[in-house]
Amino acid sequence: AIPAILGAVALKLKDFTAILISPTNIAVSVMTSFVIGWLALRFLLSILNQGKLSVFSYYCLIIGLLTFAWLRI
């Protein structure tokens, strides 16, 4: 997935010339997203390897309820 994401970013960089966002802010945002995604995947894999799917199910329930509340469904 990383090569596809980097390719998409490279193609969209030309669209950022009209936006007043510094390249530093974009780089920090990309790196932050990468680190948070990596940590989330490590957490999920550790839960799956321990066989504690109930923890993951509670997480999904909470996120689902928060999403419903946010969308006011």
- The DSSP string of 6-71 is HHHHHHHGGGGGGS---HHHHHHHHHHHHHHHHHHHHHHHHHHHHT-HHHHHHHHHHHHHHHHHHH
Is 54 within a domain? yes
Q: What is the pLDDT of residue 61?
A: 94
Instruction: Look at residue 13 and tell me if it is in a domain.
Output: no
Q: pLDDT above 70 covers what percent of the chain?
A: 90
| Domain that includes residue 48, residue range | 23-73
More confident: 3 or 63: 63
**Total structural domains in the chain?**
1
Task: Give the count of alpha carbons within 13 A of 64, CB side only.
Answer: 6
35-68 per-position pLDDT tens digit: 999 998 998 888 888 888 888 789 889 999 999 9
Q: Is residue 12 part of a domain?
A: no
Q: Is residue 4 part of a domain?
A: no
**Half-sphere exposure at residue 18, Cβ-oriented, CA atoms within 13 angstroms:** 3
